[in-house]
């Protein structure tokens, strides 16, 4: 009964930013990425069970606000997320997010969580999962162009899941690279600061592009990509925003999450609709080929999809019983008589 003493049914576990940081630090960032990766892989293996739709996006000149929903029939999940490239100059975060996981049976939420940090973890986990199936065997070196908020998470993911030992960093802002290098100092990775994008991708097995500007850019040009490389393209994630020269796409075997969304938002938005692509879940399930030769260029054109957020929320929900890193919110009105919502309000007044 929602008066002065809420019913237990009305209480929803809430993982705040502070508690998410406590959860990450109690498990370890790299280990948590690995475990989220396992949840994402498990959900990709049952891909046909999910409701799938491109995210609902409200675009403006300033950025984008998106809703990302999905359901596996037992649980429903969604994420609210924004992307505003100019925010940093205004003193705001470029990307912020929160999410909800609910039971389909009764529609009641079972988790309300911050997802700014969690999205960084799940994005890194998804990148590493794709590389697990697509990167050259024995890949040890990765070049990373764009050293902003995603950088360290990506580096740790590729170290933990793929076995990368060296990361070569470049950003147009040297302070971003210095920040990333400082944060990765105790990771065990060999971190090399580079003076150009060309230097960052020299001699590497994997190239990650992760820039923030909302424009069609050539972060990676065709002559920078040699045979046998795996490209993890995660910065192009909305209409009119790409990072790779078109000729790279024509040389590569391209793998995506959900084609109807990626064709609008990903690198492949510059290609014809009938250009061949492969869905990552098919590779994970053994229904399609991934890397087939040493000289093949593989490209994971990742824009982020709702099932990945669902997996991350499912993971956090399962962690609540272990760490207790949450508080209960009185979020749901729960009158004794479902027909008497107004009466509940009146009784609350008199109870005071």
How many structural domains compose the chain? 2
Same domain, 327 and 300: no
| Residues 161, 250 within the same domain | yes
pLDDT of residue 214: 58
| 165 & 260 share domain | yes
Give per-residue pLDDT as tens, 36-82.
999 999 999 999 999 999 999 898 888 889 999 999 999 999 999 99
Structure tokens at 320: 């609540």
With 50 as the cut, is the pLDDT of residue 312 above it? yes
Q: Indicate the average pLDDT of the chain.
A: 93
Q: Tell me: the pLDDT tens digits for 251-264?
A: 999 999 999 999 99
Residues 249 and 337 in one domain: no
pLDDT band at 89 (very low <50, low <70, confident <90, very high): confident
Q: Is the pTM of this model over 0.85?
A: yes
Residue 335 belongs to some domain of the structure? yes
CATH code of residue 261: 3.40.50.720
Are 240 and 135 part of one and the same domain? yes
Domain co-membership, 41 together with 103: yes
Percentage of residues in the chain with pLDDT exceeding 90?
79
Count Cβ neighbours within 10 Å for each residue of 50-86 and write b for 16 or more, e otherwise: bebebbebeeeeebbebebbbbbeebbbbbebbbbbe
User: Which pLDDT value is given to residue 219?
Assistant: 85
Query: Taking 50 as the threshold, does the pLDDT of residue 7 lie above it?
Result: yes
Co-location of 280 and 136 in the same domain: yes
**pLDDT surpassing 90 at residue 135:** yes
Same domain, 253 and 148: yes
CATH code for the domain in which residue 333 is found = 3.30.1780.10
131 φψ region: left (φ > 0), alpha (ψ -120 to 50), beta (else)? alpha
Residue 106 makes CB contacts below 8 A (sequence gap 6+) with none
- Rounded to the nearest 10°, the torsion over CA 66, 72, 73, 75 is -70
Dihedral angle over CA of 254, 156, 154, 184, nearest 10 = -140
Tokens at 263, concatenated: 């064709």
What does the pLDDT read at residue 61?
Answer: 85
Query: For the CA atoms of the chain, what is the radius of gyration?
Result: 22
Residues 132 and 95 grouped into a single domain: no
Least confident of 88-102, 186-200, 229-243, 309-323: 229-243
User: Taking Cα atoms as reference points, which of 267, 262, 337 lies closest to residue 297?
Assistant: 267
Note whether 288 and 182 are same-domain residues: yes
| Structural domain for 46, as ranges | 8-117+307-343
Mean pLDDT along residues 251-279: 94
Residues labelled catalytic: 237
Bigger pLDDT: 163 or 85?
163
Q: What is the mean pLDDT of residues 123-131?
A: 98
Phi, psi at residue 188, to the nearest 5°?
A: 90, -5
Q: Which of 3-7, 79-83, 235-239 has the lowest mean pLDDT?
A: 3-7
Asked if 230 and 248 sit in the same domain, the reply is yes
């Amino acid at each position: 009964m929602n008066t002065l003493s809420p019913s237990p049914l009305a209480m929803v576990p809430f993982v705040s930013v502070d508690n998410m940081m406590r959860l990450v630090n109690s498990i370890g960032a790299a280990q948590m990425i690995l475990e989220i990766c396992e949840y994402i892989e498990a959900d990709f293996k049952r891909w046909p069970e999910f409701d799938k739709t491109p995210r609902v996006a409200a675009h403006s000149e300033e950025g984008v606000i998106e809703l990302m929903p999905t359901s596996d029939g037992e649980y429903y999940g969604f994420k609210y997320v924004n992307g505003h490239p100019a925010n940093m100059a205004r003193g705001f975060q470029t990307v912020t997010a929160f999410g909800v996981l609910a039971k389909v049976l009764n529609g009641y939420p079972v988790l309300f969580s911050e997802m700014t940090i969690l999205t960084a973890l799940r994005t890194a986990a998804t990148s590493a999962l794709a590389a697990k199936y697509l990167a050259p065997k024995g890949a040890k070196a990765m070049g990373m162009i764009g050293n902003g908020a995603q950088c360290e998470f990506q580096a740790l993911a590729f170290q933990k899941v793929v076995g990368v030992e060296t990361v070569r960093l470049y950003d147009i802002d040297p302070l971003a690279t210095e920040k990333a290098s400082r944060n990765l100092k105790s990771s065990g990775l060999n971190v090399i600061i580079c003076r150009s994008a060309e230097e960052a991708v020299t001699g590497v097995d994997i190239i990650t592009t992760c820039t923030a500007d909302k424009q069609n850019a050539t972060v990676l040009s065709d002559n920078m990509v040699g045979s046998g490389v795996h490209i993890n393209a995660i910065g192009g994630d909305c209409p009119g925003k790409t990072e790779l020269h078109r000729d790279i796409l024509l040389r590569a075997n391209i793998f995506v999450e959900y084609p109807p969304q990626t064709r609008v938002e990903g690198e492949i938005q510059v290609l014809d609709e009938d250009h061949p692509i492969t869905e990552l879940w098919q590779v994970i399930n053994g229904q399609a080929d991934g890397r087939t030769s040493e000289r093949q260029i593989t490209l994971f054109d990742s824009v982020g999809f709702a099932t990945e957020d669902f997996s991350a929320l499912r993971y956090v929900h399962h962690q609540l019983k272990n760490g207790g890193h949450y508080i209960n919110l009185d979020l749901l009105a729960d009158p004794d008589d479902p027909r008497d919502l107004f009466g509940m309000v009146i009784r609350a007044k008199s109870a005071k």
